[in-house]
Each structure stands twice: as C-alpha cells, then as structure tokens.
C-alpha cells in the first residue's frame, strides 16, 4: 500500500509519518538498535482417491499432486535473499515445476513418543471445555516447532502461515529467547509485583522507546492476555474521563472476557447471556463490503463521519473512549481507507473521549511499514493495547498509556497476580530484542510485499478471490462465489484450508462468514516460504474451482 523508499525505512520512519514521528527510543536514546533494523481435512490426494477420502495426516505430500499455475522457475541464485539474519530455508526455493513442497528446515524434530492423536483428542473431548474449537476435519496434533515451521506427531512438517493465531512473532522456540527464558525459569518463576524485579521495568522502558516520540506513551500495565489489556484500557479511560460510554467497531474483536466481549462486534463471538454494557458499535472501514454501498474516496469517509451521529443519537454526547483494531484481524483483515482513523479520533476527542488502538494483532512490526498499526494511519492513540506477538507465544499482554491516564489505576487497589511475571517479562524483552536485532519489521515489509504481489497475481487467475488486502505479514484473501454478488465462499474457504494442510501449509480463516483466508505467519518468513504458500494456495484454489464448475481435475 505504501511506496516508501528503502532509505526511509533505514532511518526508522513510518511512511505515513515521515518527518513527523520518531520513536520514544530515538528521543530518549538508549540501546541504539534501530527499530526498523536488521473448521474443518481435505487431505493430500492419492491416485484415484477423492480429496475427502484420502488420509490427511502424516507423511510428505505425495508426488501425484498436480502442478498448477505454471509459474516460471527462477534459478535459486536469482532470487532475492531474505533480509537481515533470516536464513531459514533460504536455499530451498521450490521451482513450480511440480507440486508445491514445504521448504526444508535445518531443524530435525525429535521423534514423537507421546499419546496418539486419537488419545489426545479423546482426552480433550472428555476433560476440556467443549467450547474449544479445532481446525480441520481431523484435528492436527502439533508436537514441535522451530521458527516458521511446525511438525505433527507423524513427523510431517508444515509451514505455519497463522503463527498460532498471530502470536508467534519471531519464530517458534526462537533459540535466543529460549536460552534467556530457560535461564530465568531456573532462577525465579514468580514473586508478584509486591516485590521488585528488574526485568519488568526494563521491558516497560523498551516498550516506551518503541512508541512514537512525544506521544507520551510511556507507562505499561502488564497483563496475561489481550482481553485483560483491553479491560484495563476501558477502565482507565472511564476513570480518566468520568464518562462511561465506549465506541468500538462492528466487525471488531477485542477478546472473550465480559467487557472485551462487549467491545467485540462479530456476532459469532458474542454470547446472548453476556450483555454489552455502555458500548456502541460504529461502522468499520470495510470498503470491499461498504455498509453504505459507497465507494472510496467519493464516499468522503461516511463510515468514519457517521461516528458523530452515533454519539449524538446513542450516547449522552460525552464518551469515555473509542477502541479499534488498526486492521481488523478476526473480522477478516479488514483494512480501512486512509483518513478513517484520523476522522474518528477527531470526533471522539471532541466528545471528550480517549482513543485506544488495539494492536494485539497489528503491533510489533507485523504491518511492515510501521512498528505499530496506528502509525500507518497517521494517528496517535492515548492508549495502546497489545498481546499475542508481544511475547512470541507466552501469555502476555500490556496496556501502554500516558502517565496522567495510567495514574487512574491508582484510584483504587488493583492487582494482577501474573502481570509482570519474571518469566513473561524475560520472554517479552527477549522477543523485542530479537525484533530489533533481526530486522523483523523490515522482513515483514519485504517478504509481505512479495507475498501480497503474488497473491494479487493469483487473484487475476482465480475468480474465487474477491479481494487481497492487508499490509506486511498481516494479509487476508476474501473468497467469494461470485465477484458481482460477493456471496461469501465459506465452505470453499474451509476446503482450501484442508487442501493446504494436506500439502503442509497451515492458514487461518476469519470474517463473519468465515470466508477470508488469514495469512499471518511468524515474521521470520522467507521468500521461499512465501512462494511455497502461494503455490500451495494456487493448487488448492484450482481444485476447488474445478469442483465448483463440475470439472473433475484431480
């Protein structure tokens, strides 16, 4: 989306804010490391078998899968190397002269000798909440991970295109993180914040340094999850403003606790017995399915301007805060038009409210063009909530705000047993260090840009693809049965997930109708991985499209 030149990035500037914004770290000066530096199992096909009948787990993809797409083979030496120190699988480019195969990993998984997949599933069904959902007709038993790859109980390797739901930011079991956490676990696992520990403050300082300069966003409240971080943001805003009403966005997801579920406006994630209290839901910037039937830019951002009417009609006129994901993740990677957030922030501030950016999925460089998603939109929130990628897989979240807002939490006694836990803090700090040292944001931009270009090429050949959207390594592919009616292709999306799984690729899905492929891998993804991902998707799309049109290819 942005066309910033590489030297802009090397100076650490967001393209939306060039010349305006430097990080707090640049302002306060510290480590000197540049922040932009370096539901269902259609299995692998066997000859003569239908996809549904073939087994889906174990073993490499059989060679009889048909190569589709005919992409020109590029000699290895001609392919751009992965930036920074990201080398995994860089030498294993898959020429598209046969079926897509997962790039080789340098890692050898240990043989798995635990309970069988069937036993694990049976135990889960008996002893864990039935509310848990699994992907795939035959749920996957994952037993080992290394960087962007996962292995199942049969030793089959997968490219993780969904990062444990956008959580493994820099790679599964990243060796530098593992080493530091191992050391911490051996020394002290827990004490609580009633005692001092050096890592929490150090991590909070580093987070503050990653905020835009002069934003004043310097104080962290650590939690264990994104839901809790959002609860803290809303509570702090209500205390600060003395107002109660909150504006969030339709199609937004903010968590599963009572308050966070109230902020959420994807109906499938709401329970009828859990009332939404003092939250009004505004219109998302979902141009592909504009709720007003308009087109950007002639719409003049009616979706954003409508917030003024919403506040006037449905609230007392004074609000506590607005909260919005800077790209809607669960809602299907819905990426708003330029000006959307700036317009809403202005209206909300006129009504006395604070602005909260939910960066649970978009933060830590995932959008490539900026460290925080909000920087892409030229706005500065009053509070920033984060989780998932902050900890590369450990339960960790945070709400970062200005000191005067943070002070509200001292109005009463408030406590979170595991907030600031030394192990979580160690993992969070180590993750942030890896993001800086290994050029993770730059990689998200470069490999993500390549991936998006190739997905857009697929769109030209596959009518199922209605839209390719997103930024960096936060990409979505919305599938529709018909490009005019835009009827959501929900069962087709599920089938594509199954076909990809059979080929060794794990993807996510989202959107209210479940018809958006969510591509949000660990940000150490290489171009070879990206090529594999697209080739795999190409094959799956062709199979599904052929079926839709009654062709029997495969």
Ligand X SMILES: Cc1ncc(COP(=O)(O)O)c(C=O)c1O
162 binds ligand X (CB under 6 A): no
Q: How many CA atoms lie within 13 A of 339 on its CB side?
A: 11
Of 61, 334, 354, 360, the residue at the interface with ligand X (CB under 6 A) is: 360
Q: Is the Cβ of residue 68 or residue 517 nearer to ligand X in the bound state?
A: 517
Which spans in 244-326 are helix H? Answer: 258-263, 302-314
Task: Please name the helix (run of DSSP H) or strand (run of DSSP E) that holds residue 427, with its range, or none.
Answer: helix 422-437
CB 270 within 8 A of CB 288: no
Which residues, 6+ apart, have CB-to-CB distance to 432 below 8 Å?
A: 203, 206, 207, 210, 364, 390
Least Å distance between CB 84 and ligand X?
A: 26
Sort strands 397-401 and 219-223 into parallel, antiparallel or unpaired. antiparallel
Assess 542 for contact with ligand X (CB under 6 A).
Answer: no
Report the nearest approach of ligand X to the CB of residue 264 (Å).
8
Binding part of the chain for ligand X, among 86-94, 356-364, 484-492, 511-519 by CB under 6 A, reads 356-364
Please tell me whether residue 262 binds ligand X under the rule CB under 6 A: no
Which tokens hold the place of 337?
A: 């038009």
Q: Which of 227, 392, 424, 443 binds ligand X (CB under 6 A)?
A: 227
Residues 51-70 that bind ligand X (CB under 6 A): none
In whole angstroms, the minimum distance from the beta carbon of 65 to ligand X comes to 33
User: Is 367 a residue that touches ligand X (CB under 6 A)?
Assistant: no
**Total residue count of the chain as it appears in this document:** 554
Residue 237 CA from chain centroid, whole number: 25
State how far the Cα of 413 lies from the Cα of 277, in Å rounded to an integer.
23
* Residue of this chain nearest to ligand X (CB atom): 226
User: Least distance (Å) from ligand X to the CB of residue 254?
Assistant: 5
| Stretch binding ligand X (CB under 6 A), from 135-143, 249-257, 342-350, 446-454 | 249-257
Beta carbon of residue 536, minimum distance to ligand X (angstroms, whole number): 25
- Is 243 an interacting residue with respect to ligand X (CB under 6 A)? no
364 makes contact with ligand X (CB under 6 A): no
Interface characters, 486-525, with ligand X (x: CB under 6 A): ----------------------------------------
Q: Which is nearer to ligand X, 99 or 226 (CB)?
A: 226
Query: Binding ligand X by CB under 6 A: which of 145, 226, 285, 332?
Result: 226
| C-alpha count within 13 angstroms, C-beta hemisphere, residue 410 | 6
Give the nearest distance from C-beta 253 to ligand X in angstroms: 5
Q: Which of 61, 68, 266, 330 binds ligand X (CB under 6 A)?
A: 330
CB of residue 61 to ligand X, shortest distance in Å: 30
Residue 308 to residue 247: CA distance in whole angstroms:
11
Q: How many CB atoms lie within 10 A of CB 395?
A: 16
Tokens read off for 361: 């999925």
Burial classification of residue 92, based on how many CB atoms lie within 10 Å of its CB (0-12 exposed, 13-18 middle, 19 or more buried)? middle
Cβ atoms within 10 A of the Cβ of 195, count? 7
Q: Are 281 and 265 in contact (CB under 8 A)?
A: yes
Number of other CB atoms surrounding residue 132 within 10 Å: 9
Among candidates 546, 531, 539, 552, which has minimal Cα distance to 503?
539
Name the residue nearer to ligand X (CB basis): 249 or 432.
249
Among 83, 161, 171, 255, binds ligand X (CB under 6 A): 255
Choose the stretch contacting ligand X; rule: CB under 6 A; options: 38-46, 81-89, 106-114, 223-231. 223-231
Which of 35, 180, 238, 254 binds ligand X (CB under 6 A)? It is: 254
Residues that bind ligand X (CB under 6 A): 225-227, 230, 253-255, 325, 329-330, 358, 360-361, 387, 397
């Amino acid at each position: 989306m942005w066309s910033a030149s590489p030297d802009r990035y090397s100076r650490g500037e967001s393209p939306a804010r060039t010349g305006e914004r430097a990080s707090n770290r640049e302002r306060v000066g510290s480590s000197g490391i540049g922040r932009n530096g370096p539901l269902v199992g259609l299995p692998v096909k066997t000859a003569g078998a239908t996809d549904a009948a073939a087994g889906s787990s174990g073993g490499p993809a059989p060679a009889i899968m048909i190569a589709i797409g005919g992409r020109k083979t590029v000699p290895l030496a001609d392919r751009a190397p992965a930036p920074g120190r990201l080398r995994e699988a860089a030498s294993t480019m898959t020429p598209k002269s046969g079926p897509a195969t997962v790039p080789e990993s340098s890692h050898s998984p240990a043989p798995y000798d635990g309970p069988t997949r069937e036993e694990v599933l049976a135990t889960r069904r008996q002893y864990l909440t039935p509310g848990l959902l699994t992907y795939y007709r035959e749920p996957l038993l994952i037993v080992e991970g290394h960087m962007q790859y996962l292995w199942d109980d049969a030793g089959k390797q997968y490219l993780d295109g969904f990062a444990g739901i956008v959580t493994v930011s820099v790679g599964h079991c990243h060796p530098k993180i593992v080493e530091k956490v191992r050391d911490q676990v051996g020394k002290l696992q827990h004490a609580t914040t009633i005692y001092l520990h050096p890592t929490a403050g150090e991590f909070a300082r580093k987070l503050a340094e990653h905020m835009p300069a002069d934003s004043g966003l310097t104080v962290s409240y650590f939690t264990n999850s994104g839901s809790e971080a959002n609860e803290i943001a809303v509570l702090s805003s209500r205390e600060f403003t003395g107002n109660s009403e909150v504006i969030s966005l339709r199609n937004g997801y903010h968590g599963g606790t009572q308050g966070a579920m109230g902020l959420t406006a994807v109906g499938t994630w709401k329970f009828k017995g859990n009332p939404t209290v003092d939250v009004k839901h505004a219109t998302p910037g979902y141009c592909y399915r504009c709720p007003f039937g308009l087109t950007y830019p002639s719409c003049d951002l009616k979706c954003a301007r409508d917030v003024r009417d919403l506040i006037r009609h449905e609230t007392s006129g004074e609000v506590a805060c607005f909260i919005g994901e800077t790209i809607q993740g669960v809602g299907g990677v819905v990426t708003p038009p330029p000006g959307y957030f700036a317009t809403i922030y202005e209206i909300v501030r006129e009504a006395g409210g604070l602005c909260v950016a939910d960066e649970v999925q978009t933060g830590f460089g995932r959008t490539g063009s900026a460290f925080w998603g909000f920087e892409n939109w030229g706005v500065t929130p009053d509070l920033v909530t984060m989780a998932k990628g902050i900890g590369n897989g450990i339960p960790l979240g945070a709400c970062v705000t200005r000191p005067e807002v943070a002070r509200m939490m001292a109005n009463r006694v408030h406590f979170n047993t595991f907030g600031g836990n030394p192990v979580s803090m160690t993992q969070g700090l180590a993750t942030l260090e890896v993001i800086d040292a290994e050029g993770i944001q730059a990689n998200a931009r470069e490999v993500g840009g390549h991936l998006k270009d190739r997905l857009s090429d697929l769109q030209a050949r596959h009518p199922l693809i209605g839209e390719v959207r997103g930024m960096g390594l936060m990409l979505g592919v919305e599938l529709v049965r018909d490009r005019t009616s835009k009827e959501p292709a929900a069962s087709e999306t599920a089938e594509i997930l199954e076909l990809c799984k059979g080929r060794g690729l794990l993807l996510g899905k989202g959107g209210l109708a479940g018809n958006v492929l969510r591509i949000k891998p660990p940000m150490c993804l290489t171009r070879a991985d990206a090529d594999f991902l697209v080739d795999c998707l190409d094959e799956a799309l062709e199979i599904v499209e052929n079926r839709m049109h009654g062709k029997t290819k495969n």
